[in-house]
Structure 1
Amino acid sequence: MKKVYFDNAATTPMLKEVVDVMAKSMMENYGNPSSIHESGRKAKVAIETSRKNIAKMLNVSSNEIVFTSGGTEANNLVLSNAVKFLGVKRVITSRIEHHAVLDVLLELQKDYDFQLEYVKLNDKGEVDLSNLKDLLSLSDDKTLVSLMWVNNEIGNILSVKEVGGVCKENNALFHTDAVQAVGHFDVDLSKLNVDFLVASAHKFHGPKGVGFLYVKNDIAIKPILFGGGQEKGKRSGTENVHAILGMSKALEYACENLDKDLEYILNLKKYFIKSLKSNFPEISFNGLSNDIEKSSHTILNVRFPKEVKMILFNLDLNGVFASGGSACQSGASKKSHVLIDILNESEIEESSVRFSFSKFSTLEEIDFVIEKLKKII
Structure 2
Amino acid sequence: MFTLKYKPGLKWYQQPTFAVLFHVTSWVLIFSIPFFLRPNIEAATSHVSRMPQPQSVQSVFRLLLIAVFYLNAYVLIPFLMQRKKMAWYIISLVGVFAVVLLIMLMVNRYEDVESIPWRVPFFISVFPTLFILAISTTYRIIIDNVKNERNLKERQTEHLKTELSFLRSQVSPHFMFNVLNSAVSLARVRSAQLEPTLIKLSHLLRYMLYESDEDKVSLTKEREYLQNYIDLQQLRFADSVHIEFEGSGSFDSYLIEPMLLIPFVENAFKHGIGFIDKPEIHIKMEEKAGELHFEVKNKFNPANKGSNDKHSGIGLVNVERRLNLLYGNEHKLTISNNDNWFYINLILQLR
After TM superposition, the score normalised by the length of structure 1 is 0.24
Answer with 1 or 2: which has the greater Rg.
2
More helix by share: 2
TM-score, with length taken from structure 2: 0.25
